[in-house]
Chain A
C-alpha cells in the first residue's frame, strides 16, 4: 500500500516537473518563433519584460497588454514607412536573475530597438545594466525606486513618479488640503517605509507643520498599542504611516479602538484590497498615495478602457495605461530617429531620441524626460477610502514641482 502511494506521488511530481518545463519551452519558443516569422520584410521589434507568471502576474500581464495595444494602434503608420512592428514579450518572473538573462537575449536580437518594462524596481535595476551595454532604451511604466534613474544610465527612463517624490506629495496634501498642523509619523524601519516617512517628514517640516512624533514599529508585529499610546498623548490631527498594508490595517483599527480620530495616511503599499480586509469598517477615511492614476477620470480614459476591454476581454489594471503610453513614446522616438531615411535606425539613435522626448501627450500622462530619464510630468495621486471597499476614490493629484 505504502509503495503504491509513493509511486503515485513520484508520478505526480514528475508530471508536475514536465508541465513546468513544458511551460518554459512554449514561452521561449513563442519568443523565438517571432524571429523566424519575421525573416523577409523589414522588422522593428520591441520587447516587453514583466512578470507573466507568479504573484504579480496580473500586473505583469497588464503591462504586456497595454504595450501591445499601443503597438497595434501604430501598426498601420509603420506599414506605410515600410516596416512591420513586432512585440516580443518576455517573462521576467519578478526575478532579477531571470530579468538579466532575458535582457541578454534581447540584446542579442539585433532587430529589437527598445524595451517596455519592468514592473519591479528590483528587476529593472540589474537588467538596465545589460541594456546599457547593448544601447537598448527601456521605458518602465511602473518602477519607482530612486536608484533606477539616479545611476544616470543613458538607456533608463520611466513615466511614473519617483519614490522620493511620493513623500513630499503626501505632505503637500496633508498640509494644504487636509489642513494638518500637528503630524505624528510612524514607520516600519524598512528601506521603503523609512525612506517614505523621512521624505514626508522633511517636506512637512519645510511647509511649517509640527512633527510631534517619529516612531518605529517592527514588521510582523500585531500589537501597536504602545506606539499609539504615544500618539494619543500628542493629540495629532494627522498620522502618516510609512510601511506595508498588513501593519497599516492593524494600526488603523487599533488607533480607532483607542479613540484616535485623526486621518491616517500611507504610501502606495497601502494600495491593496488587503488593507480593507484587515481594517474592516475602520478603513473609512484612511488615505493613500499611488503613482497610478484613476483611468476613468482621464479625458480619454472611458473610451480607452472600452477599447482595452474589447481587445483583451478584461478590465485594465492601474499600470496598463502607463505601459500603453510607454510604448507610444518608444514608437514616437523610433520614428524621430528614423528621420526621413528608410533604414531602420541604430539603437543609440533611438536611445537618444527617447531621452529627448518632450511634451508627449499620452493617455494617462504627459511625458517629458529630464536628463536622467525621469518624467517631469509624473504625478502622485491621493486616494481616500470613502467606504470599506477597495479601491478608494481619487481625492487629489499632485504634480512635481518644476526643477
Chain B
C-alpha cells in the first residue's frame, strides 16, 4: 500500500502543483476583494471562465489571421494572456460599478445575491455567444505547446515510477509564480499597494488621509479580475476544453483555498491554493488505496473540504490569518 503511494508521488505532485497554481491565482482575486470590501465576490469564478473564453477567442483570431505560424508559441501565449487580462480586468471594474458600488451601503447579504446574479448572467451571456459562433458551448482550445517530457525517475530510485510533464504545465508554473511575485511586490512595495493596504485596514481613516477610496477599489477589482482572467487562459491551455460552467466549481474551490490560507491574506491565498490542489490530486490518486477500495477518486472533493473544515474548527482565521480582535 505504502509503496504504491510512494511510486506515484512525483506524478501526483506535478499534477497537484499545476492544479494548485491555478487555484492559487484565482484565490488571489477572492482574497483581495474580501480584504478591501469584506465582500465575497462570487462572480469571480465567472470572470475566470470569461478569461478562458476570451483567450480562446483571441487564439482563434490569431489562427484565422495566420499569425500563429510566424510567432513563437510563448509569445502568442503571453499576448493572449495579456489581452485576456485586460478584458477581464475591465469586466471586473464594470461589475463593480454596476452591481456592487450602488449597493455598497446595503447589507452584505444583498451584495452576495447581486454577485450570484452577475455570475449567472455571465454564464448565459458567454454560452449564448459561444453557441452563436460555434453551435456548441463546449469549446475545444487549440494547444500552443504539445510537447511532453518523460522524467526518468525510476532510474534514480526504484521507489518511483517515471513521471511525465507537459510543456504547458511548466509554463503554468512560470506564469503563476511570476503573477504571484508581481502582485506581492505591488502590494507591499508600491504607493498604490500601500493605499490598498490602508483602505483594507480602515476605509474611513484612509479617505481622511487623502486616499481616493473609490479609485483603490476599482484598482483592486481590476487586478483581481485580471489575475482571474489570466488563469482562465492557463486553464484552457492545460485542459483543452472549456464550457461556460467551469467557473462555478473552480471558483468555489479557489474560495476555499482563500479561506484555508486566511481570507484577506494574499500570501495565505497562494499557500492555500497550492495546498488544496496537491491535496485534491493526492486524494483522487490514493483514496481507493487508502480505504481499501471503499471510496474511489470521485470523493476527492469531500476529502479536500473535510481538511478545510478541520482547519477552520481548530484555527478559524485560516493558516496565515490573524485573529481579529473586536474593537471595544
Contact = CB atoms under 8 A, between A and B. Distances in A.
Interface of A: 189, 213-218, 220-223, 225-227, 229-230, 232-233, 246, 249-250, 253-254, 257-259, 274, 277-278, 280
Nearest to B138: A246
B288 A230 contact: yes
Nearest to B245: A220
Given A258-B11, A258-B164, A278-B240, 11 more contacts: A220-B246, A222-B241, A226-B12, A226-B280, A229-B281, A230-B286, A230-B288, A250-B241, A257-B148, A274-B136, A278-B140
Interface stretch (B24-32, B107-115, B172-180, B294-302): B294-302
A232 B241 CA distance: 22
Contacts of A189: 298
Contact of B298 (A213, A216, A225): A216
Interface of B: 4, 7-8, 11-12, 15, 19, 136, 138, 140, 148, 150, 161-162, 164, 166, 235, 239-243, 245-246, 249, 280-281, 283-286, 288-289, 296-298, 300-301
Residue of A215, A229, A259 with most chain B CB atoms under a 10 A cut-off: A229
Contacts of B164: 257-259
A250 B150 CA distance: 20
Contact of B138 (A216, A223, A274): A274
Contacts of A250: 239-241
Nearest to B242: A222
Nearest to B169: A257
B140 A233 contact: no
A87 to B, nearest CB: 30
DSSP class of B's interface residues: helix, strand, loop or mixed?
helix
10 contacts: A220-B245, A225-B15, A225-B284, A225-B285, A230-B285, A230-B297, A246-B243, A249-B241, A259-B148, A278-B240
B140 A277 contact: yes
B148 A214 contact: no
A220 B247 CA distance: 11
Contacts of A280: 140, 240
B298 A229 contact: no
A217 B283 CA distance: 13
Given A220-B245, A233-B8, A278 B138 contact: yes
Given A225-B15, A226-B285, A280-B140, A233 B280 contact: no
Nearest to B284: A226
A371 to B, nearest CB: 39
A347 B189 CA distance: 86
B151 to A, nearest CB: 11
Given A215-B297, A218-B298, A233-B161, A223 B19 contact: yes
B297 A246 contact: no
Contacts, number: 93
Contacts of A227: 284-285, 297
B288 A213 contact: yes
A253 B240 CA distance: 9
Contact of A215 (B150, B235, B280, B298): B298
The 8 closest A-B pairs by CB, nearest first: A226-B284, A216-B298, A225-B15, A229-B285, A222-B239, A227-B297, A226-B285, A277-B140
A222 B8 contact: no
A229 B15 CA distance: 9
A279 to B, nearest CB: 9
A229 B241 contact: no
Contacts of B249: 220-221
Contacts of B235: 222
Contact of B166 (A218, A226, A257): A257
Contacts of B166: 257
A225 B246 contact: no
Contact of A226 (B7, B241, B283): B283
A274 B8 CA distance: 32
A216 B296 contact: yes
Contacts of B162: 259
A216 B150 CA distance: 27
Nearest to A227: B297
A223 B21 CA distance: 14
A205 to B, nearest CB: 15
Contacts of B136: 274, 277
Contacts of A216: 296-298
Contacts of A223: 15, 19, 239
B246 A222 contact: yes
Nearest to B250: A222
A94 B19 CA distance: 39
